[in-house]
Amino acid sequence: MITVKEVKRSLLVSLWFVFLTFPLMVIKVNPYERTVSWRWSNMVYVAIGTFVISLLAKAWFVRKERRMARQQDSCHARIPIIQRILQRPGYRYPLAAFLLGAVLAFPHLFSTYQANIMTTALMYIVLGLGLNIVVGVAGLLDLGYVAFYAVGAYSYALLNLHFGLGFWTVLPVGGLLAALFGVLLGFPVLRLRGDYLAIVTLGFGEIIRLILENWNAFSKGPSGISNIPRPGFFGLEMSLDQAMIYMYYLMIGLLLVTIFVVNRLQDSRLGRAWLALREDEIACQAMGIDKTRTKLIAFSLGAFWAGLIGVIFAAKTTFVNPASFTFMESAIILSIVVLGGMGSIVGVILGALILVLLPEYLRALSEYRMLAFGAILVAMMIFKPEGLIANVRRIYCYQGRKSNTALKNDE
């Protein structure tokens, strides 16, 4: 039941939101005609909309608290419904077959432009899964992840420019070079955690970008490197549309391999060591886990996937320059992990699809596109602060011993 006090709070929220959006929603300046238009109706719509949404949010939170109180003693109720569906083979395999068929048929049902957008989304999914190893599983906040992405892209660009090496030759090389940089970054930050670790990794990312931007003799500076060849397929000549579709299917294959490897890593002994490191470093070390080795493996594996996608990015765009590897890229990838759910593979996939596809398909809103995009993200973080699909901690429930009567009934 919503009280009068909560209604007053919703009214204050509505007025505050009107004040914040007033310059954008009400005032419209035409610089050519030097006129100012006042759109007062927009202010009314914003006030009413935010008031209603605030009331609905409060009602939702009240209902959620009551549901959690009722389900406090239930083990199955703590698991999200999507994960419960995925854990059942009767639902999991048909759903996986349907999704695989839809993904494979996508470039034939839609335009090449849509396939190109989806390829970009798939690249960010793999980047999110790589960063999920470092941030979501191992608990190491990395704000310079784009540096490994840049290492992979420039590895292909420079090796092709100076030595004529092709895509398939450089693909593993780019990943290994990025993994080497991950180890080099891991050594100085072994004793750091939290905000200090974030600052060091942020500085590392900026150092790589500034080196690429100012070392003209090595990376050609801000002008970048162009005419990077796309991946070939047994020497066949492909048009631009065919190359885009081929790149799409290449990303599908890499995504499936990434999901398989990351899933196996999380369930392995190394994955459990990462989880222990995330929960408590001191207890982790007291249990005999080599903290140094565990951190270095997390950094190197996360960087390896970023290097692979960097090579694919260079081949897809056929051009690289330092402007493509700014801090905003690291922020977007980190947002994918946090929004989807730290440690959750399915959550990272959904988070990447939302953050990459949503701005593209909100172009119809024109000047309100980024406002709507930001509002959607804020709403998601308010209603689902743990992420779209939270990674549920493994729990064990004692159901008790069945009585003899119950056992006979089961037989």
pLDDT tens per residue across span 218-229? 888 888 898 898
Beta bridge pairs of residue 225: 320
Residues 330 and 235 in one domain: yes
* pLDDT tens, position by position, 306-315: 999 999 999 9
Residues 171 and 229 in one domain: yes
Within a 10 A sphere around the Cβ of 113, how many other Cβ atoms?
11
Higher-confidence residue: 342 or 155? 155
What φ, ψ does residue 362 adopt, rounded to 5°? -95, 10
Terminal Cα distance for the chain, rounded = 47
Residues 213 and 313 in one domain: yes
- What is the number of domains present in the chain? 2
Lowest-confidence range among 268-272, 283-287, 382-386? 382-386
Looking at residues 167-174, what average pLDDT do you find? 92
Residues 250 and 119 in one domain: yes
* Per-residue confidence (pLDDT) for residue 70, from 0 to 100: 63
Higher-confidence residue: 373 or 142? 142
Asked if the model's pLDDT at residue 11 lies above 90, the reply is no
Is residue 199, in this structure, part of any structural domain at all?
A: yes
| CB-based contacts of 310, cutoff 8 Å, min separation 6 | 148, 149, 150, 151, 152, 153, 154, 155, 156, 174, 178
Residues 21 and 166 in one domain: no
* pLDDT tens, position by position, 206-216: 898 999 999 88
Q: Identify which of 171, 175, 205 has the alpha carbon closest to the alpha carbon of residue 333.
A: 205
Residues in the chain, total: 411
CA dihedral 274, 279, 283, 284 (to 10 degrees): 0
* Cβ density class 218-228: b for 16+ within 10 Å, e for less: ebbeeebbeeb
Residues 66 and 141 in one domain: no
Confidence of residue 68 (pLDDT cuts 50, 70, 90): low
Is residue 54, in this structure, part of any structural domain at all?
A: yes
Is residue 87, in this structure, part of any structural domain at all?
A: no
Lowest-confidence range among 35-39, 187-191, 192-196, 404-408? 404-408
* Per-residue confidence (pLDDT) for residue 53, from 0 to 100: 83
Q: Give the domain extent around 145.
A: 111-383
Residues 132 and 271 in one domain: yes
Asked if the model's pLDDT at residue 397 lies above 60, the reply is no
Residues 265 and 315 in one domain: yes
* pLDDT tens, position by position, 234-273: 777 788 888 889 999 999 999 999 999 998 988 888 888 8
Is residue 315, in this structure, part of any structural domain at all?
A: yes
Is residue 390, in this structure, part of any structural domain at all?
A: no
Residues 38 and 156 in one domain: no
Asked if the model's pLDDT at residue 177 lies above 90, the reply is yes
Is residue 296, in this structure, part of any structural domain at all?
A: yes
Is residue 273, in this structure, part of any structural domain at all?
A: yes
Is residue 96, in this structure, part of any structural domain at all?
A: no
Residues 59 and 139 in one domain: no
